Amino acid sequence: MITALAGGVGAARLLRGMVEVIPPGDITAVVNVGDDTDLHGLHISPDLDTVMYTLAGAINPETGWGLKGETWRVMESLGRLRGITWFNLGDQDLATHLYRTQRLSEGAALGTVTAELAERFGVGVRLLPVTDDALRTRVRVVGGTEIGFQEYFVKLRHDVAVEEVRFEGAAESTPGPGVLEAIAGASTVVVCPSNPVVSIDPVLAVPGVPEALAARRDDIVAVSPIVAGAALKGPADRLLVEMGFESSVVGVARWYAPWVSTLVIDESDAALAPAVEAEGVRCVVAATVMSDVARAAALAEVVIGARA
């Protein structure tokens, strides 16, 4: 049994590779919900959907989020009404948000609705939101204004300095059903190559999760989302620096060292392996850029076998 801590695109690609190597039923993904947002009265869970669509073979390959072959007629009409259009919701994607919102309004928990959606999309990996409670990543940008994560990420194109990140609702949240058991019962816990600051940290913000992870440190393998000093996608490099860490595999090792025992870094960073190990983290060098499913599967194989 493998349990993976997952954010969006990088996690989805690694999980897509993993299902080539081990049966989907042997994998549980504990997914970030800090990116979730409410727009147009709809509950949108971008990371859950990115992982689900990717595993279903339905992801838009150009963007890494949303559905392939998407049309945008609702957004076009909304634009004519001068509604909110900075967050692009495709016509087919909207059905997912409608379904989720309706089920939540009926009193179903997010984890239950996620399992229903995953089943309808034919996804065999168990997808668990880290919590069923409302946990929202909030970002204080330069000048002191606090905004929601998607406003930072999409509306401002993460092109603004961040002073602080906090996880609203985290202190009152509890782990979703099965989350602690999945961490305790896994042979290996994999930390996907997701943003440490805004994808993995919200998972650790749920009380009970850090304790469960600390008890498994020897069996936790992370994949660096930083390759040759830069994030392949998104603002992980910039955010690490803004949080006082280096934008390098060494910075990632320092960030994760308290609860991760092994870090997989890219071949291009091989020279930094001793510096990673100086942070108290075992270092494994591999090809980590998942430009296709075969490369993702090869990386998954390394990650699964990387435990000390």
Residues contributing to the site for ligand FO1 (CB under 6 A): 7-8, 35, 44, 46-47, 49-50, 65-66, 87-89, 93, 150, 153-154
Q: How far apart are CA 143 and CA 136, in angstroms?
A: 21
**Nearer to ligand FO1 among residue 62 and residue 106 (C-beta):** 62
Tell me the closest approach of the beta carbon of residue 211 to ligand FO1, in angstroms.
26
Tell me the closest approach of the beta carbon of residue 16 to ligand FO1, in angstroms.
15
Tell me the closest approach of the beta carbon of residue 233 to ligand FO1, in angstroms.
9
Residue of 145, 142, 232 lying closest to 195 (CA atoms): 232
Q: Do 101 and 43 contact (CB within 8 A), yes or no?
A: yes
At 306, which amino acid appears?
A
Q: How far apart are CA 24 and CA 29, in angstroms?
A: 10
Q: How far apart are CA 114 and CA 135, in angstroms?
A: 16
**Nearer to ligand FO1 among residue 110 and residue 180 (C-beta):** 110
Tell me the closest approach of the beta carbon of residue 23 to ligand FO1, in angstroms.
26
Exposed, middle or buried, 109 (CB in 10 Å: 0-12/13-18/19+)? middle
Q: Which residues of 222-234 are buried (b: 16+ CB within 10 A; e: fewer)?
A: bbbbbbeeebbeb
Tell me the closest approach of the beta carbon of residue 60 to ligand FO1, in angstroms.
10
**Nearer to ligand FO1 among residue 148 and residue 250 (C-beta):** 148
Q: Do 287 and 295 contact (CB within 8 A), yes or no?
A: yes
Nearest residue to the partner ligand FO1, using Cβ: 8
**Nearer to ligand FO1 among residue 32 and residue 262 (C-beta):** 32
Tell me the closest approach of the beta carbon of residue 166 to ligand FO1, in angstroms.
17
**Nearer to ligand FO1 among residue 226 and residue 281 (C-beta):** 226
Q: Using DSSP, state whether 51 is helix, strand or coil.
A: helix
**Nearer to ligand FO1 among residue 90 and residue 176 (C-beta):** 90
| Contacts within 8 Å (CB) and 24+ apart, 62-70 | 64/8, 64/9, 64/12, 64/233, 65/8, 65/9, 66/90, 66/93, 67/92, 67/93
**Nearer to ligand FO1 among residue 42 and residue 289 (C-beta):** 42
Tokens of 228: 């040759």
Tell me the closest approach of the beta carbon of residue 308 to ligand FO1, in angstroms.
30
